[in-house]
Amino acid sequence: MVAPLITDSHCHLDFPDFQDQLPEAIARAADAGVTRMVTICTKLRQVETVRAIAEAHAPVFFAAGTHPMSVADEPLVSVDDLIALTAHPKMVGIGETGLDYHYTADSKDIQQTSLRIHITAARETGLPLIIHARDADDDMARILSEEHRNGAYSCVMHCFSSSPELARAALDLGFYLSMSGITAFPKSADLRDIFAAAPLDRILVETDAPYLAPPPHRGKRNEPAFVAHTARRAAETFGMDYADFAAQTEQNFERLFHKVAAYQGAS
């Protein structure tokens, strides 16, 4: 039986966890029905490595930005820097960016500056913004809303595990929420409730590999193939057949990451 097609909308294939094992991981993903993945560059000095992975593997696309936990230790990216990267046909998103006050609250001012730069690049390019949010809900909702009033842009709240209030603020702006392996953990019923209350056409799925492997692989290295496990549990959350849920998330992904659909349509 052929597995339903699905996309891993967020992973980190350049991390050492995949060294010398990437072709095998991509092959396992294909066997699981995962025929596309977006690998995320979190520090712009590593963008050549991430870009090379996308160029070498047909199913892989990439996004680039400066992760909020790295902002204090990296050169502040410029709007022009980010826009220049989007000339590549497989560069399909801006980020990940955002706010993380869990471990790095001391750099919150520069995080907010960096976030606004990334938002401007997303607005000017029309590519989706990829947001990381942790323990910063109020500032995150405020900045996303302020910037949206300055000009619309598209966005996905990656690996969403924040409050119902931030979920509603993002959805009210027309943004998307992405389900990671966390949503498949037995103790994540409250988080599943947040997603169940969201519009189905605003849901994506991801691994955030090599992190956050869903059951039955929890505690092990995550990889793109495992997004199918997250999606199967997510289908239950929405009371749907897995094939129907997978098809809906594919539509959602192509609507948001429109450059992927355009690239594949032209290939």
Domains of the chain: 7-257 (3.20.20.140)
Spatial contact of 183 and 191, defined as CB atoms under 8 Å apart: yes
Give the residues across from 7 on adjacent strands. 36
* Sign of torsion over alpha carbons 114, 99, 166, 175: positive
Amino acid occupying residue 14: D
Q: What is the pLDDT of residue 267?
A: 72
Q: What are phi and psi of 74, to 5 degrees?
A: -120, 155
**How many other CB atoms are there within 10 angstroms of residue 242's CB atom?**
18
Q: For residue 217, what are the CA distances in angstroms to 23, 146, 234, 236?
A: 20, 40, 16, 19
Q: What is the pLDDT of residue 170?
A: 98
Spatial contact of 156 and 130, defined as CB atoms under 8 Å apart: yes
What end-to-end distance do the CA atoms of the chain give, in Å?
27
pTM: 0.97
Q: What is the pLDDT of residue 266?
A: 84
Q: What is the pLDDT of residue 1?
A: 72
> Which residues in the chain land under pLDDT 70?
none
CA angle 92/96/100 to nearest 5° reads: 165
Q: What is the pLDDT of residue 3?
A: 87
Residues 6+ apart with CB under 8 A from 149: none
Q: What sections of 88-204 are H helices per DSSP?
A: 108-125, 137-150, 164-172, 189-196
Q: What is the pLDDT of residue 265?
A: 85
